[in-house]
Structure formats: C-alpha cells, structure tokens
Amino acid sequence: MTEKRTSIHGQWTSRTVFILAATGSAVGLGNIWKFPYITGENGGGTFVLVYLLCIALIGVPIMMAEIMLGRRGKQSPINTMLALAKDEHRNPGWVWLGWMGVAAGFLILSYYSVIAGWAMSYVFRTGGGMFLGITADGANSIFAALVGDPERLLAWHTIFMLITMMVVARGVKNGLEKAVTLLMPLLFALLIVIVIYAMTTGYFMEGVRFLFTPGTIDGKGILTAMGHAFFTLSLGMGAIMVYGSYLSEEYSIVQASILIALADTVVALLAGLAIFPIVFANGLEPGAGPGLIFQTLPIAFGHMQGGTLVGVVFFTLLMFAAWTSAISLIEPAVAYLVENKGVNRIYASVWIGGLTWFVGLGTVFSFNIWKDKTLSIPYLFENKTFFDTLDYLTANIMLPLGGLFIALFAAWVMREQSTKDEMKTYPFIYKTWRFLVRFITPVAVIIVFLKAVDAI
C-alpha cells in the first residue's frame, strides 16, 4: 500500500467547507444565465430530467475520480499526476494531464477575469441609477461603451485579478476557506432575495412553467444537456483536483461529490426562477442568451419598482459567483509554484496572478482595438478573436480531454485496490462508480468532445 502523503498547503477544516469551496468553483457566470436559458429552449422539465441523468452518469463519476486523485496525491495537479503514475508503476508521461489542467484553468481565468469585471462595473452602474427609465438602445449603448473602452476594461480586469490574488495569497485556511465560508452563503442569500422578489412580479408561475413544463427534446437538446452536465462542475481544469488534495481522509468522496452536484444544480434552477419572472414581467425576450445579463435585464431593472436595489443585488451575486470560481482557477498554478520553486504563497500568487493578468490583456483588446484581428487553426476554427480562440480551445478541447483522461487514469491505470483505499465506500456504490467511469462516462465525454468540435 502506498504511504499516505500530507499536503504542505494545509487542509479544509471540515467537509462542509470543502463542499462550499468546490461548489464555489463550479458555480459561476454560466450558472446564472446559461442553464436557465438552455433549459427553456430545450424541452423545459424534460431537459432538466435529461440533464440530471447526465450529471449522474458523467459529472458525478468524473468529479469523484478527480477528487480521489487529488486527495491521494496531496499536491498540485502536476505533481499529483507524476506521483500517482509512479505509485502505480506507470509511465510518468501522465504528468501532462496535470499540466493541461493547470494550463486550462490559467487560460480560462485570463478571460474570465475580464467578463467578471463587467459584472463588477454593472454593480456601480446600477447603483448609480444609470439604467433608470432606459430603453433597449440605451442599454445596448452602455454595454457597447464599456467593452469598447480598453482603459475601462483594463481597470476592472486589474481590480478583479487583485482581489483574487489577495485571497489565494493568504493560503488554504486564511484565504480560500475564509473566502468561501463568507461568499457562498452570501451568494445563496442574494439568490434567494431575488427569487423572493420574482415571486412578487405576478409572473413567477410563468417562470416556473418555462423551466419545468415537460416538453419535447431532440438529439441536439440531449447533447446540450450532456455538455452542460460536464462543464458545469468545473471538471478537467485542475481546480477540483487541487481542492481534493486539501480534503481530509475521514470525509466521504461519494457524499461530497453528490452534494456538490446537487448544490450546483439548485443554484442554476434558482437563477432561472429569479431571472425569468422578471423577464416576463417586463415583456423581454427570454432567449437573449449572454446578452440577457448585460443588455436585457438592465432594462427590467430600470423600469421596475425597487429595480435599482434588485439590480445591485443581482450584479453583486454575479460578482461573487465569478470570484469563488476565480480563486479555484488560479490555485493549481500557485500550488505548483510553491511546491517546486520553494517560494511563499504571496510571491507565487503575485507571479501567477500577474501572468494571468497579462494574458488577459488579449481578451480586453479583443472587444475593441483588436476586434478585427482574428486567428485560424486548420481543421478546428477560422477567424476567431483572441478571446474566442481561448474560449474555444479551453471549453471545447482542453476540458473534455482532461475529463476523459481523468476517468481513464482512475479506472484503467490505477489499481483497483488503490481506488478502493481512497473511495472508502460500500461495495455496491464502488462497483457502480467503477463501471460508470470505465465504460459509460468515457463514451459520453467523447460524444461531448465530438459535438464541441462540430464533428457530429
């Protein structure tokens, strides 16, 4: 049996804190707009049922595998994969899986920070009454002015990266743990406040019907459910693996994974119950996609009674969701630098955060001075901006491949006894997980990958 390791970074003080941290990583900007939107457009309640099935068959098994690898390795994803390959007497080349996860998280944060900056700026725009009585053209013009101003985007991008670096620099207990134990309850509370307000609009049941009425779902809708079930849990980007490395041996990986998946789904559904009654009450278009947040909802906030306060709460909620995700995205790279270069967390956070900020400049400029500059990669895509390129490469290629190879490593490379030692669960549950992660999950992720690159 492999000797148990201990993390030099410390560990979570309780299972609850780990669940809050992992849920914070999973809950992001996409939960607030994307899940409600794709639910309404792909069969309502039928889509929700398909999505939950996909969570059970794809999301939860991979999450259990990723947490297991992290807890067994007790290091950054890079060093964890190197150590586990050695433990199992396998090719050390598996370290590339750790590198890809860290790189994906780093690249995602570089543009995620810019988008999060939009949410931060809208807190102040809404609070300052900028949207009072605004028209659709006015809302579009305010958003266009924001993204078209590189200096303004740079300022918000810089502020968001600084507050993210400050949390990570303080370590697991004083930084990550304190942040998530404060931010996640606040996030849930703010979401509940907006849901309660939505109940007063007179259109709450219309929002419920939009989300939950069973409808027809086609093959495209099923593929959409599969893809979102995978991406919504922050899998394949090193975040869950590094958070798992801080998890005590006494806590159940199975229970934690199920609770995280449930919490993530509940947040997404609550977001739909909060947003769509407001949309319907103001005669707006529910199928506005990402524009729903920054170009459509401000119109509603500008015309409803108490809309300024509701708008401030909503965009603060967005900012918190982005923040809890951001600290998980930067943590794997910071942990690696601390482990391999012998530097303290403050130094590591400044270096990794500064590099992330620098790469993020490409996204800042993608919306203004570089908006006409595009990139093409043969057989993959043509004429994408810097931002669109990073988004495509991470979401469509790096994350699905990362999730796929995490499942393959856990199920086919690691010895059965090794995974049993770490999972510590009932035989039936273990056998079910092992069957799913060996046969069902890899096939499903391959389908998600092929859809993402437009191969099917």
Query: pLDDT value at position 97?
Result: 97
133-162 per-position pLDDT tens digit: 998 889 989 999 999 999 999 999 999 999
Confidence of residue 229 (pLDDT cuts 50, 70, 90): confident
Cα separation, 171 vs 53, in Å, equals 36
Q: Mean pLDDT highest for which of 272-286, 300-314, 346-360?
A: 346-360
Domains of the chain, first to last? 15-452 (1.20.1740)
Provide the token pair at 103.
């790189």
Per-residue pLDDT reduced to its tens digit, 244-263: 999 999 999 999 999 999 99
- For residue 291, which amino acid is it? G
What CA–CA distance (Å, rounded) separates 413 from 94? Answer: 10
Using the predicted structure, report yes or no on whether residue 2 has a pLDDT greater than 60.
no
Pick from 67, 103, 16, 95: nearest CA to 233: 67
Q: Identify the band that residue 239 occupies on the pLDDT scale cut at 50, 70 and 90.
A: very high
Mean residue pLDDT of the chain comes to 91
Residue 123 has pLDDT above 80, yes or no: yes
* pLDDT (0 to 100) of residue 297: 84
Q: Report the C-alpha gap between 62 and 257 in whole angstroms.
A: 9
Q: Check pLDDT > 90 for residue 82.
A: yes
Cβ count near 412 (within 10 Å) = 10
| CA–CA distance, 415 with 210 (Å, rounded to integer) | 47
Instruction: Tell me if 325 sits within 8 A of 234, measured CB to CB.
Output: yes
Whether pLDDT at 289 is above 70 = no
Q: CA nearest 455: which of 406, 382, 396, 415?
A: 396
Which pLDDT tens digit goes with each residue over 392-415?
A: 899 889 999 999 999 999 999 999
Residue-level pLDDT at 1: 46
What pLDDT does residue 311 have?
92
Confidence of residue 210 (pLDDT cuts 50, 70, 90): confident
Residue 228: pLDDT band with limits 50, 70, 90: confident
At 288 the pLDDT is: 67
Please state the pTM of the whole predicted model. Answer: 0.94
Distance (Å, rounded) from C-alpha 369 to C-alpha 150?
Answer: 8
Q: Inform me whether the pLDDT recorded for 456 exceeds 80.
A: no
Tokens standing for residue 134: 């605004």
Q: Over pLDDT 90: what percentage of the chain?
A: 70
d(CA 244, CA 64): 9
Q: What is the percentage of the chain residues whose pLDDT exceeds 70?
A: 98
Which residue has 């290629």 as its token pair? 397
Report the alpha-carbon distance of residue 382 to residue 285 in Å, rounded. 30
What average pLDDT does range 317-340 have in this prediction? 95
Give me the mean pLDDT over the 97-103 stretch. 97
Binning pLDDT at 50, 70 and 90, where does residue 353 land? very high
